[in-house]
Amino acid sequence: MHEDAELMLAEFFQQLTFQVRASEHTVKSYRRDMEQLCRYCTEKGLAHWADLQQTDIRAFIAARHREKLSSKSLQRQLSAIRSFYNYLLKQGLVDINPAQHIRAPKQARKLPKVLDVDQLFGLLEAGAGSLLEIRDLAMFELFYSSGLRLSELSELNLTDLDLPDSTVTVRIGKGGKSRILPIGSKAVTAIENWLRQRAVKIPAVESALFVSARGTRLGQRNIELRLAQWCIKKGIAEHIHPHMLRHSFASHLLESSQDLRAVQELLGHSNIGTTQIYTHLDFQHLAEIYDKAHPRAKKKPT
């Protein structure tokens, strides 16, 4: 593409990073999506962003769809393109947003996997026998207790905790939004236990709540690996990934309270439609109970 077009894209990412304060994950994903669009434009001889029409964006998305890209990934690519063109519109650099009315192909929405209460108790009451396991238990208890995202858990600092008030503050959640969440008594106890060990055995220079044995912030990938290792060591056969704890938090809370708005606020969802997927999980659970319990619903033995 033309040098001016590349400069516009660079300025967009500057604005996305420092003014909009989008998450690192979003910036990386959008950058990858726009690089793919740039390659497509080069192949088609499109040198300027104003050259692209709706038909070009449709053709690009169709090509990505033929490459077996998921509907979710296509939706994110369209979101990246729309955001970029909205930026160009505000700058007066283009006249239209060619991605504005284009929708990605729909695919069946998968229900998130959750653990039942007994499985959660087995996971969290397996016992911690070392410094790192004490830390891990505090992480997993807080994860399930407050319904955090993996990125939010990793980014927590010591100053985000208010244990006397049993709350934790998420400073920058998805979309740059902050929220204050309650912490259950089991999680408070596990965190207090970790903080006592941390104060004695971990260097005090790091502000992160959860740190490695060297005193550096624990990243998302490391948290995933620690959960996998925890399950193996504790003899838990099922593969459990961190977001299953968040999904379980939402499902169990909704099942008990039936308060969709409250669960939406706790999860930090901007759209209640995102939260409604947990109502399907709740119905699925009720349907299973019905099938097992209702005398006229039980299947005949084969």
Does a structural domain hold residue 302? no
Does a structural domain hold residue 96? no
- For residue 269, what pLDDT is reported? 77
pLDDT per position as a tens digit, 104-162: 877 666 667 888 888 888 889 988 889 999 999 999 999 999 999 999 999 999 999 99
Q: Distance (Å, rounded) from C-alpha 102 to C-alpha 82?
A: 10
Residues 152 and 217 in one domain: yes
| Domain encompassing residue 156 | 117-290
Residue with tokens 């990125």, as numbered in its chain: 151
Kindly indicate the confidence band of residue 226, based on its pLDDT and cuts at 50, 70 and 90: very high
pLDDT per position as a tens digit, 59-81: 999 999 889 888 889 999 999 99
Residues 135 and 250 in one domain: yes
Q: Which of these, 232, 220, 210, 246, lies nearest to 120 by C-alpha position?
A: 246
> Residues in the chain, how many?
302
Residues 225 and 80 in one domain: no
> Is 287 buried (19+), middle (13-18) or exposed (0-12) by CB count in 10 A?
exposed
Q: Give 162's strand partners.
A: 167
Does a structural domain hold residue 97? no
CATH number at 46 reads 1.10.150.130
CATH number at 228 reads 1.10.443.10
Does a structural domain hold residue 247? yes
Number of domains in the chain: 2
Residues 160 and 260 in one domain: yes
Cβ distance 168 to 178 under 8 Å?
A: no
Compute the C-alpha angle 240/243/132, nearest 5°: 65
Residues 83 and 122 in one domain: no
- For residue 298, what pLDDT is reported? 58
Does a structural domain hold residue 31? yes
What residues are labeled active site? 149, 174, 243, 246, 269, 278
Q: Distance (Å, rounded) from C-alpha 31 to C-alpha 25?
A: 10
Residues 148 and 271 in one domain: yes
- DSSP assignment letter at 157: B
Residues 199 and 77 in one domain: no
Residues 213 and 158 in one domain: yes
Residues 11 and 60 in one domain: yes
Does a structural domain hold residue 105? no
What average pLDDT score do residues 168-193 get? 89
| pTM over cut 0.85 | no
Residues 21 and 168 in one domain: no
pLDDT per position as a tens digit, 265-296: 888 877 777 776 766 655 555 455 556 655 65
Mean per-residue pLDDT over the chain, rounded? 86
Residues 56 and 123 in one domain: no
Residues 83 and 125 in one domain: no
φ/ψ (deg, to 5) at 161: -90, 140
Q: Which of these, 134, 36, 143, 155, lies nearest to 84 by C-alpha position?
A: 36
